Structure 1
Amino acid sequence: ALMLYSNITIYINQATLKLADGVFDNIIRSSGIQVDPVNPNGKVLDVDEIQSVKILGSGKDNAFIEGPNVPYSAPHPIKGGAAVQWVGDWYGWRTVGILLANCKNYEIAHLTMRKTTCWAISQERGCEDMHLHDLHFDTAVKNGDGIDFRMGCKNGIVERITGNTGDDLIALSAFLDFVPSYPSGNYIWPMQATADNPNTLGNNIENIRISDISGASQHNLVRVSLSGGAKVTDISISNISDTGGVNGNLVLISTGYGTPSSLGDLSGISVNGIESHYTKEPLRISAPIQDSIFNFIRQHKADGVTYTINSEYPLINTQITNAKKVN
C-alpha cells in the first residue's frame, strides 16, 4: 500500500492511481497502522496518530483511484482447495481501498473510486475532523461500500457524493465485539484493523454531517447501524435521492451484527429530505432510538411506501413529519 504520513497531499491530476494485479493490500493506508508481523492480516499492534493529510483529484471525470483488473487469488486461508479471489469483507481490512485509522484533520475530494475489492474508503478508531466531498463510486464487487465510518470516528462532513455501489453508498457502523476473535465462521480477518474489541481510541460514532447524496445501490444509500453497546449520536443526514434502483433503503437505521443495541445507544439522529423515485421503501427504522427527527420524505414510486418502522424496537421522543406519496 501507499503509506500516508502527516502533512502530505496526494494529488491525482487527470490520472489513475491503481493497485497492481495480484496484490492483496490497500491502495492507500495510514502509516501509523502497526501491522503485526506474526499475523499481518489480523488485528494490528497499535495505531499511531497522523495529521493534516489530503487525497485530492482534479475532478470526478478525470481522476481515479481503482483496484486491480485481476484481484489476488490463492487457496482459501482456512479451507484450502483451489485458488479463489480474496475479495469482500470475509478477507479483512486489506481489501479496503483507502484505510485510515487515528487520522486527524483530513480531506478526500474530487475523484472517482472504482474496481474496488471491497469497501472503497474505511475510517476507524481515532479518525476526527474529516471532510469527504465531491466523490463518485463505482463498486460492483461483493461488499462494495463507498464510504464507511467505523467505531471511533467523530466530527466529520460528507457532502456531494454520487455512485452506483454493490453495497451501501455510505455506512456508519459501530459493531462492538461483533466478532470477539478471528477467524470466526466466514470472517477470516477483521474489517477494522483494530478489530471489534473495545479500544481506547474510541468505540462510538458521533457528530457526522451527511448531505447531498444521490445514487443507486444493491443495498442502501445511507446506513446507520450499531450493536454491542456502542453509541451513535448527533448524526445529520439531508438531501438523499436515488438515481436508479436501490434494493434496500435510501436511509436505513438498524441494529444487528452482534448483540442488538439498547435504548440510549442511538440518539440525536436528524434526517431531512429523502426523495425516492425508484426505491420501494425510502426509510426504514429498525433499532431503539430516541431524541430524533425524520422530516420531508417524498415517495414518487407508485407501489412504494413512505417509511417503515419495526415495532419491535422503542421510539422515544422521535418524530416522522411531512412524509407523502406524490405523483
Structure 2
Amino acid sequence: MHERNVFDPNDFQGSDSERIAQALAAAAPRHGTVRITRRDAADGRAVWLIDEAILLPGNLTLIIDNCTIQLSDRARDNFIRSANCGIGIADVEPIENLHILGVGNAVLLGAEHPRATGDAVKTLGVRSYGTDAGKPGERQTGDWRNMGILLARVHNFTIENLLIKEAHCWAVSLEKCTRGVIRNLAFHATQTRLIDGVPQTILNQDGLDLRAGCRDILIDTLTGVTGDDLLALTGICLRDSPAGTLDHGVSGGRFRDPANDIQNIIIRNVIGYSAAGHHIVRFLNTAGLGMRNIVLDGLIDTSPETVTDHAAIRIGDTQPAWGGVTPLGDTSGFQIRNVFSKARSAILVGGSLCDSVIDGVFNANPEGVALNLVSGAEYFQQVDVAHVRDVARKPGAAEVAHTKA
C-alpha cells in the first residue's frame, strides 16, 4: 500500500486471482482504489494470470496501470464483472460509483486456450472454439461468462483507456447501466485465431455492447478491429427471463418492460472496422422495446482493401428472429452525422426509423450505397437527410437508395 486507501495486489500473497481479491477486500470498506501495476513475483512473470473474474463492488476505483491481465486456460469467466451479479443471483441489486481506468499500456488479454467462446447459441467445437467441447458436465455453448467486462445495473460508472485483445465474446457488455462515461477503448480481434498453429474460429467478438435498459451514457473514441460489430446497441428482450442463470443475460429481463428501452446515448469518434465483414456500428431493438435519442457523430471506416463490411451503420433488422421490423416510433430521435464508409452500405436501415436526422455521409465504395432502405421507404418517415454522397460509381453498380421523407 503506497498511498492512503490505494491498494496494490503486489503487496498481497497467493495466486494472482487471490492477490487481486485481497486488494479489493481491503479497498472496498474504505471506498478506496485498487491499482494493479506490473506483476512482481519471484517467478519473473510480468503478466497477471487470473482464474476467475475480478469482482467489483460499488464505490470503488480499479486502475490498471501499465500492465496486462490475462485469463488463464483454467478460467471460464469474465475479465471483470460487477459483484452484484452472477450465477444464482436472482435479484441484481443496483450499485453506484464504479470506475475502471487504464493508465498507459493497460491490456486485457484472452486465454491462450479458451475453455469457451461465443454467445449462448454457439456450440463449442462446432461453431466456436472451446477446450470444454465434448467434456462431460461442462456447458456446451457459450454464455455471459465469455464477455470481457460485464456490468449489470451499475449507475455512475466509467470505463476508459483500455486495450482489449482476443476477447472470448463481446469485449464489454453493459446491462441496464446508466449515467456512464466510456472513453478511449481499443479492440483487437478478428474472429479467427491461431491456436497451437491451427486457425480457430471465435465468434461474437464485438467490441462494446450496450444492452437493454442502458441510458444516459457518453461513448467517446472507440478504435481498432473486431471480429463482429465494433459497437452495438442491442435491445433484445423477446420473453421474460430470470437473472442469475446461464441461459440468458446475467440480469434477466421482462418482455415489453419500458425499463428495457435504450435512450439518451451520445457516441463520438468511432474509428475501426469489423474484420469478418459485419458492421462497425449496429442499432438493434426488438418490437416492443424502444431505442430513442441517440447521437452518433463521427465514424471512420478503416478497413483494408481485403475487407468490406456489410454496413458501417445498421439500424434494425427484418429478421423474424429479432421480432421483425420495429413499429414506427420505436426507433426514433437519431442524429447521425459525419460518416466515412467503405462498406457495402454506409447506412443500412433494416428496421424502422422516424423523427431523425442524417447529415454528412460519404460512401467511398464505388460498388456500395450511402443509404440503403432495405425495409422500405414506408418505415423511414420524417427523417431529414442532407449531404449524403457516393463516390463515382462503377458501371452496373446499384443506384443510391437514399431518400428524404
| TM bucket, shorter chain | 0.7 to 0.9
Write the deviation string for residues 255-306 of structure 1: whole angstroms up to 9, x where unpaired: 3443222112111011001112x32211101112210111111122232221
Residue type at the aligned position of 1:72: R
Query: Aligned residue for 1:169?
Result: 230
Q: How far does residue 81 in structure 1 lie from its aligned partner after superposition?
A: 9.8
Match of 2:111 in 1: 68
Aligned-partner SS, 1:33: coil
Aligned to 1:8: 60
SS state at 1:202 partner = helix
Distance 2:232 2:110 in 1: 20
Superposed CA offset, 1:131-178 (max 9, x none):
11111001233100000000010000111110100000000011121x
1: CA distance between counterparts of 2:313 and 2:362? 13
**Contact map agreement 1:175 1:230 (CA 8 A) in 2:** yes
How far apart, CA to CA, are the structure 1 residues paired with 2:75 and 2:172? 18
How do 1:1-327 residues align onto structure 2 when only pairs under 5 Å count?
1-36=53-88, 44-59=89-104, 62-72=105-115, 84-85=130-131, 90-125=141-176, 127-140=177-190, 141-177=202-238, 189-190=247-248, 192-198=249-255, 202-217=259-274, 218=276, 219-244=278-303, 245-255=307-317, 256=319, 257-260=321-324, 261-276=326-341, 278-312=342-376, 314-326=379-391
User: Do the aligned residues in 2 keep the contact of 1:227 with 1:258 (CA within 8 Å)?
Assistant: yes
Output one character per residue of 1:50-70: Cα deviation in whole Å (capped at 9) or x when no partner: 1111111113xx210122111
Measure the CA separation in 2 of the matches of 1:206 and 1:90: 31
3-state SS of the aligned residue for 1:250?
strand
The 1:250/1:86 distance shift into structure 2, 3 A limit, reads farther
Partner of 1:40: none
Partner Cα distance (1:98, 1:194) in 2: 14
Question: Which of these two proteins has the greater Rg computed from alpha carbons?
Answer: 2
Where 2:311 maps in the other structure, the secondary structure is: coil
Q: State the TM-score, normalized to the length of structure 2.
A: 0.70
Displacement after TM superposition at 1:79 (Å): 8.7
Question: In structure 2, what is the Cα distance between the partners aligned to 1:28 and 1:164?
Answer: 21
1:48–1:292 Cα change, 3 Å: same
Contact 1:6 1:51 in 2 (8 A): yes
Query: How many angstroms apart in 2 are the aligned matches of 1:251 and 1:80?
Result: 30
- Greater RCO, CA 8 A, separation 6+: 1
Match of 1:39 in 2: none
Over the aligned positions, Cα root-mean-square deviation in angstroms equals: 2.8
CA distance in 1, matches of 2:152, 2:352: 29
- Cα distance, 1:235 vs structure 2: 0.4
Task: Name stretches of at least 5 consecutive residues in structure 2 with no aligned partner.
Answer: 1-52, 134-139, 191-201, 393-405
Moved over 6 A (4+): 76-83
Write the deviation string for residues 68-96 of structure 1: whole angstroms up to 9, x where unpaired: 1111169x999999994469x95221110
Distance 2:221 2:57 in 1: 26
**Structure 1 counterpart SS, 2:369:** coil
Shift of 1:319: 2.4
TM superposition shift of 1:200:
6.8
Identical residues among aligned pairs (%): 28
- Higher share in strand: 1
Q: Distance in 2 between matches of 1:243 and 1:316?
A: 31
Report Cα offsets for 1:220-260 as digits up to 9, x if no partner: 11110011311100000111011113422111101344322
After TM superposition, the structure 1 stretch with the greater mean CA deviation from structure 2, 296-305 or 153-162, is 296-305
Tell me how far apart the structure 2 counterparts of residues 298 and 143 of structure 1 sit (CA, whole Å): 28
TM, length-normalised to structure 1: 0.86
Q: Do the aligned residues in 2 keep the contact of 1:91 with 1:189 (CA within 8 Å)?
A: no
Measure the CA separation in 2 of the matches of 1:210 and 1:128.
15
**Match of 1:282, SS?**
strand
Contact 1:175 1:196 in 2 (8 A): no
* 3-state SS of paired residue (2:263): strand
User: What letter corresponds to residue 249 of structure 1 in structure 2?
Assistant: A
Higher helix share: 2
- In the alignment, is the contact (CA less than 8 A) between 2:79 and 2:149 conserved in 1? yes
Q: 2:48: which partner in 1?
A: none
Aligned match of 2:49:
none
